[in-house]
Amino acid sequence: MAETIVKIENLVKRYKDLIAVDHLNLEIKKGEVYGLLGPNGSGKSTTINSMLSLLAYDKGSIEIFGKEMTPVSYDIKKKIGIIMQDVAVFDELTVYENIDYFCGLYIKDKETRKKYVTDAVNFTGLNDFLKFYPKKLSGGLLRRLNIACGIAHKPELIILDEPTVAVDPQSRNKILEGIQELNRNGATIIYTSHYMEEVEQICTRIAIMDKGRKIAEGTKEELKRMIKNTETITVETENVPDEILSRINDLSHVYETEQSEGRLIIRCGGGKHNLIRVLSVLQEAELNFGRVYTELPTLNDVFLEITGKVLRDREE
């Protein structure tokens, strides 16, 4: 059984009348990439800040590496790397000086630090920008610098709080690949995001949070198994008559149909060959239709089914 790295029990954090974290329990094992998924305001960052003792919480306990985490747990802090949502670097220092500064907060020995900084630079691909000041870097490079500053001291536990916000797709992929490589090198990762694709891509275990509570936890497969939906078939067509809709609804495993904006959406729960059966009905009725596609359930479907609302923010 893998060693427990983080154990949170019954954590409660209130801001006056608002309960930001509501009796949260988490257990993260060594070597995991643990995803905290939830919409903005679901309590992910508050949980992270409480874990790091940046916030005082009202109730509960937090243990990291088997010891209680307090603001003076410097031996624990030594083993943690943090990459915040907002870029936290000095505008007045160069890329190299920034990484060296944050690495130096953990590593006193100059020679070791130099090697670690070089490793972090290589890892994040910032070799060509060492003498650049942060203001001269693009958004993606800035995020990479932010990550380099957080991982340079080779921490055992790395906490990434929405590290890909406002990053272009290319840089985002590079960051995600980097996180997976850090995990392969032995680091345990806690990754918070409201981008479900990212969480699905890199996390070995996921907790879905909403209104400060953990509403589901498991691997992505386990989470998807929790819900009724196994397949969603979309047919581009106009005004499907009620009679045909009723025939589709009567097909086995179809549990819901929905017509909107020139599309017929059919949700199935289990079974095989659902698409063929739906197409047969449409052909028999001699109905004109355009593209047809089928999707497996996503974490958004999981979130939708559990909370009754979509996970994605509207602006995304």
**Distance, CA of 100 to CA of 102 (rounded, Å):** 6
Nearer to another protein, 49 or 232 (CB): 49
Helix (H, G, I), strand (E, B) or coil at 73: coil
Please tell me what DSSP assigns to residue 2. P
In the bound complex, what is the minimum distance in angstroms from residue 142's beta carbon to another protein? 12
Complex with another protein: residue 154 or 214, whichever CB lies closer: 154
CB of 94 to another protein, least distance (A): 9
Decide whether 71 or 270 has the Cβ nearer to another protein: 71
Q: Which is nearer to another protein, 53 or 307 (CB)?
A: 53
**Shortest approach of another protein to residue 46 CB, angstroms?**
13
Residue 224 Cβ vs another protein, minimum distance, rounded to whole Å = 34
The residue (of 100 and 231) whose beta carbon lies closer to another protein is: 100
Backbone angles phi, psi at 156, to 5 degrees: -85, -30
Query: C-beta of 81: minimal distance to another protein in Å?
Result: 9
CA 203 to chain centre: 7
SS3 293: strand
- Which has the closest alpha carbon to 60: 48, 68, 52, 71? 68
Are residues 41 and 309 in contact, defined by beta-carbon separation less than 8 angstroms? no
Least distance in Å: CB of 152 to another protein?
11
Residues 6+ apart with CB under 8 A from 95: 121, 126, 129, 130, 131, 132, 133, 134, 137, 145, 148
Residue bearing tokens 């996970």: 311
Taking the CA atoms of residue 210, residue 216, residue 219 and residue 220 in that order, the dihedral angle to the nearest 10 degrees is -60
24 three-state secondary structure: strand
Cβ distance to another protein smaller for residue 104 or 218:
104
Distance linking the first and last C-alpha atoms of the chain: 39
Structural tokens at position 197: 């694709």
- Contacting residues toward another protein, per CB under 8 A: 52-54, 71-72, 74-75, 77-78, 80, 82, 84, 86-93, 97, 101-102, 104-106, 149-150
90 contacts 98 by C-beta, under 8 angstroms: yes
**C-alpha gyration radius of the chain:** 23
CB of 45 or CB of 274, closer to another protein? 45
DSSP conformation class of 134: G
Residue 145 CB, shortest distance to another protein, in Å, is 12
Query: Smallest gap, in angstroms, from Cβ of residue 99 to another protein?
Result: 12
Smallest distance, another protein to C-beta of residue 113, A: 10
In the complex with another protein, the residue whose CB is nearer, 55 or 279, is 55
Q: Which of residues 2 and 88 has its CB atom nearest to another protein in the complex? A: 88
Backbone angles phi, psi at 2, to 5 degrees: -70, 150
